[in-house]
Amino acid sequence: MTATITHQTIAVLVENKAGVLARVADLFARRGYNILSLVVAPTRDHRFSRITIVVDSETSSIDQVVKQLFKLINVVEIQELSAETSIERELLIATVEVPVDRKAELSQIVDEYYGKVLSDAEGQLTISIEAGPNKIQEFEDLIEQFKVVYLQRSGRIALPKIGRSIPKHTAN
Amino acid sequence: MTDIGKPGQINGAHAVIKSLEEEGVEIIFGYPGGAILPVYDPLIDTKIRHVLVRHEQGAGHMAEGYAHATGKPGVCMVTSGPAATNVVTALADAYLDSVPMVCITGQVALASIGTDAFQECDTTGITRSITKHNYLVTKAEDIPRVIHEAFHLATTGRPGPVLIDIPKSIVAHNNPDSYFDWYYPDTVTLPGYSPNITPEESSINEAIELMCEASRPVLYVGGGVLKARGAKQLLELAEMSNIPVVTTLMARGAFPDSHELCLGMPGMHGNYTAITAIQKSDVLIAMGSRFDDRVTGKVDAFAPEAKVIHVDIDPAEHGKIRNPDISIVGDCAVAMDMMLAGFKAKGGAAAFADHSEWIQQVSDWQTQYPLTYIQSEPGEYLKPQYVIEQLRDACPADTIVTAGVGQHQMWASQYWNFDHPYTWINSGGLGTMGFSIPAAIGAKAAMPDRMVWSIDGDGCFQMTAQELITATAENIPIKVALINNAYLGMVRQWQELFYDERFSQVHFGHDMPDYVKWAESMGCAAFKVEESSDVRAVIEKANQINDRPVVIDFRCISEEKVYPMVTAGGSNDNVIVHPSQRGEDS
C-alpha cells in the first residue's frame, strides 16, 4: 500500500449473531467488491461486534458497498473512515532469522519504528510493530533484507480523528 | 402422541402453526418430508389450508403467485436437503422481483447439523444471497419471535423472501427441549432495520420543480409502484401532469393500457414508442423501477438527454446503474402523495409547462409504429399474437394472467390489455422458465372467483406441468394457454438472428409429448387448436369450464419472432421494428 490512496476503511457495527460475518463476506463475494483487509472484534456492548473492512476504492463503488451492506438486516451502523478523517492502525509481527553480527542493525530498525522484540532465541527474533498503513509497509519492506521466517499482519482498524465528525449511517 | 410438556406449554411444531395463524396465513403451499414431519402433525388441526404440491419449486412459485395477486406474503413449507434446494429457484425469483414470501424449511436435528446427515444441506448458507434475510432457529422458544420478524421483514420496506430453517429436534414432540411457554410478540426488535418510507421533503420539492419545467417528460414506472399499492396515485399524477407513462414488465397493469397517456412496455421487446419516448425524454421520472439491463440496453446510451428523478424505497438502487439527478428514497405511493400535494399547491395542471408538442410527437410514433404481426394464412399454424389477442378479448377485464419466460411472455405482455393492477404475474428479474403454471395456481388459490389464465410456452410447460395434478387434486381450476411452437422459441429467435440460423438444441416438436393426453391424464380438460378460425370458440368453451383445470394446446408456427427488438447490450436508439414497418432503406 503506497501513498496514493486507493482504499477506504468502513467500520460496520453488526449484531453479534451467528452467521453475520458470513453474510458480510458473502455480499462482497457476490457483488464483486474487493476486500484488502477485514477485522472482526466484539465492542464494549457485547450485543454488537465491529467489522472493520478496508475496501479497494478503485475497483468498488464505496457508495454502493455501504448501501448494499446496510441492506443486511444485522448491520446496525456504518462509518466511512477515510485516510484523511481517521487514524488507521495495524499490528505486524514477524520472526526474522538474523546473524549475530546484524542483530544490532535489526534492533535499530525495530526501535526506529517504535517496535518491540518479543522473543530472541536460536538466532531468530520475533518482533512487532504497530503503526499506520504506510509505516507498516515501509517496515515490512525494510526487514525483507533479513531472512523473514514468519510474518503476519493483523489487518487494519481505525477511529475517527479527534474533532472530526464522521457521519454514521444508521437504521434511524 | 404423548405430550411431554409441562401444563401450559406448547411444543415447537404447534408453535410454528400457531404463529402462522397469528400472522393471518390462509394458505401454505408445501410438501412434507423427514425433517419437517413434526410440523405436519399439528397442521391437521388448523384452519390454514395446505396445498400439497408435486415439486417444491412449485410450492415456492405458488407462494409467489399468491403474493403477487394479493399483496399478502406467500407461505411455503418444505423439508430439508433436496426439498430446500428445490425451493431455491423460487426464492431467487422472489428476491429479484421483490415478492413478499416466507419459506419454512425443515432441518436435521441440531445435534446432527454439520455431520453431513441424511438430507442435510446448509440451507441458510445456500439461500443467503437470494433472500432478504434468513434464520436458522436454534431454540424452540425463538420460533414465535422469528416467525413474527420474518413476516415483518418480508412485507415491509422493499419486500422479499425470508427463509426460516427449523431443526427437527426443536419441533419434535418427544424432545423436552422443544416445549416452552407460549407467547406471541406484538413488536419486533431489529436494531439494523428501519425502511425509509417517507422521502425527504426537499427531494420531493426539487422533483416538483424539475417536473414542472420539463418539456419532454416520461414516467418510467416499475414494480415498486405495485408493491407500494400506488396505482391510484400514479393515475392522478399522470393525469394532472399530462406526462406519458411507460410500464415495465414488472409494472404492467399499474397504469391502464387503454389510457391515452399509456405507452406500454419499454425495453428489449418493448414497443417503439415506449422505448423512444424514454430515449428522447428530458426528464425521466423512474418510479419504483431499477434501470434493469433489459430496459436500458446499453446504459451509456440510455436516455442521454434526460435528467433523472429516481424514486425507490431501496437506497441501494439509487446510483447502482444510473446516477439520478434527484434521488427520492421512499415508498412510491407516499412519494406520489407528497408530489400530488405539492402540485396541487402550485395550481395542479396549470403548474406544468406546456408539453403538448411532446404529447403529439409521442402520439405520432404510436401511429407510425404500433405493435404488429401478420396473420397466418389458412392452413398454416397459428400466430401466437393472434391467440393472445383472442384470449384477451374473450376474457373478463380482471382476468389474472401469468406467464413463463420467453417469447410467449413477451407476446402476453405486449398484446394483453392490462387495465387493472395485479392482473399480470410473471418472472421478470430471474427469468424463471416454468413459473407460469404454479404461479397461476397460487393466484387462483388466493382468488377462487377470478379467472386465471396461465399463458405458457412448450419449454416452460414441460418444466412444471406436474403442478396441474396439484390444481386438479386441490380443485384450483386454472386455465393454460399453451403457445406450442415446437421450439425454445426465444433461443431459436436469437440463433436465427445472431448465429446464422444455426439452430442448436432448441427443437422440441409439436407432438412430443402429446399435450392433450398429458393434460387429460392430470385431470384437466384439454383441447388442441390448429386453425385460426377455431381459436375463439375453443377459448370460449374453456372459459365455461370451472370444475377442473383446462389446457389448450395452441399449435403455433415456429418461425414467428418477437418484435420490436433491441439487441442485448445495444443502444435503445436502434429499435428493430417488425419487418413490415421497416422502410425501403432498411
Reported ipTM: the value is: 0.91
Q: What is the largest CA-CA distance in chain B?
A: 86
| Topology of the domain covering A87-157 | Alpha-Beta Plaits (3.30.70)
Q: Which residue of B128, B136, B191 is in closest CB contact with A15?
A: B191
B125 CB within 8 Å of a chain A CB: yes
| Topology of the domain covering B384-555 | Rossmann fold (3.40.50)
Q: Do B192 and A67 touch (CB under 8 A)?
A: no
Q: Do A27 and B319 touch (CB under 8 A)?
A: no
Mean pLDDT of chain A: 93
Q: Identical fold at A7-86 and A87-157?
A: yes
Q: Do B316 and A76 touch (CB under 8 A)?
A: no
Question: B301 is written with which cell numbers?
Answer: 446510451
Residue A2 has pLDDT above 60, yes or no: no
A16-20: Cβ within 8 A, 24+ apart: A16/A42, A16/A46, A16/A47, A16/A48, A16/A49, A17/A74, A18/B136, A18/B138, A19/B124, A19/B128, A19/B136, A20/A49, A20/A72, A20/A74
Q: Which residue of B138, B192, B319 is in closest CB contact with A171?
A: B192
B564 preceded by a cis bond (ω within 30 of 0): yes
Residues forming CATH 3.40.50.970 domain(s) in chain B: 9-181, 384-555
Q: Which residue of B132, B192, B314 is in closest CB contact with A74?
A: B192
B321 CB within 8 Å of a chain A CB: no
Provide the pLDDT for residue B584.
Answer: 55
B319 CB within 8 Å of a chain A CB: yes
Provide the pLDDT for residue A167.
Answer: 80
Residue of chain A whose Cα is closest to the Cα of B149: A73
Provide the pLDDT for residue B305.
Answer: 98
Strand ranges inside A61-155, DSSP E: 75-81, 86-97, 116-121, 124-131, 147-153
Q: Do A14 and B319 touch (CB under 8 A)?
A: no
Q: Do B136 and A26 touch (CB under 8 A)?
A: no
Q: Do A22 and B128 touch (CB under 8 A)?
A: yes
Smallest CA–CA distance, residue B315 to chain A, in Å, is: 6
CATH class of the domain defined by A7-86: alpha beta
d(CA A133, CA A7): 11
A81 pLDDT tier (thresholds 50, 70, 90)? very high
Q: Which residues of chain B have pLDDT under 50?
A: 585-586
A170 pLDDT tier (thresholds 50, 70, 90)? confident
Q: Which residue of A15, A73, A172 is in closest CB contact with B153?
A: A73
Scanning B281-383, the segments in alpha helix (DSSP H) are: 293-296, 332-345, 356-368
Q: Which CATH architecture has domain B9-181?
A: 3-Layer(aba) Sandwich (3.40)
Distances (CA, A) of A2 to A6, A114, A132: 9, 20, 12
Provide the pLDDT for residue A4.
Answer: 67
Provide the pLDDT for residue B491.
Answer: 98
Q: Do A171 and B136 touch (CB under 8 A)?
A: no
Distances (CA, A) of B194 to B134, B434, B448: 17, 35, 35
B316 CB within 8 Å of a chain A CB: yes
Size of interface A-B (CB pairs under 8 A): 47
Task: Kindly list the residues from chain B whose CB atom is less than 8 angstroms away from the CB atom of residue A30.
Answer: 129
For chain A, which residues make up each domain, given as ranges? Answer: 7-86, 87-157
Provide the pLDDT for residue A172.
Answer: 57
Q: Which CATH architecture has domain B201-368?
A: 3-Layer(aba) Sandwich (3.40)
Smallest CA–CA distance, residue A74 to chain B, in Å, is: 5
A1 pLDDT tier (thresholds 50, 70, 90)? very low
Closest among B111, B116, B336 to B219, alpha carbons compared: B336
B189 CB within 8 Å of a chain A CB: no
Q: Do B153 and A68 touch (CB under 8 A)?
A: no
Return the active site residues of B.
56, 118-119, 168, 490
Provide the pLDDT for residue B227.
Answer: 98
State how far Cα B179 lies from the chain centre: 39
Task: Kindly list the residues from chain B whose CB atom is less than 8 angstroms away from the CB atom of residue A75.
Answer: 192
